[in-house]
Amino acid sequence: MTFYIFQPYPGVEIRNFTTSWSDGLAFAALIHRWRPDVTDFGSIASKPDPNERLELAFKHAQEVFGIEKLLDPEGNQNKLMENIFSILRN
């Protein structure tokens, strides 16, 4: 299943709410979708390391939306998406 908002983003395919978010691409696409003027999806997606992509996405979330980084990308990946949605809902 790919949600409509992720269709224009290469490499982003949402199959579930855990591992589909663990490489940073979906989170970066979500941020870019709402603020393409300040977030460069291509520069984040071009990073080969998934943890680096997540770190950059978290950095953009903090800079653009004022969302404090409360998660460690190297931590429990199964909880990552649940925590991201929790942050974005607030």
Q: What pLDDT is stored for residue 85 in this prediction?
A: 64
Tell me, what CATH number does 44's domain have?
Answer: 1.10.418.10
Q: What pLDDT is stored for residue 48 in this prediction?
A: 94
Task: Between 2 and 43, name the one with better pLDDT.
Answer: 43
Domain extent at residue 16: 4-89
39 near 31, Cβ under 8 Å? yes
Q: Which of 11, 62, 64 is nearest to 36 (CA)?
A: 64
pTM (two decimals):
0.72
Calpha distance 41→31 (Å, rounded): 8
Task: Between 3 and 22, name the one with better pLDDT.
Answer: 22
Total domains in the fold of the chain: 1
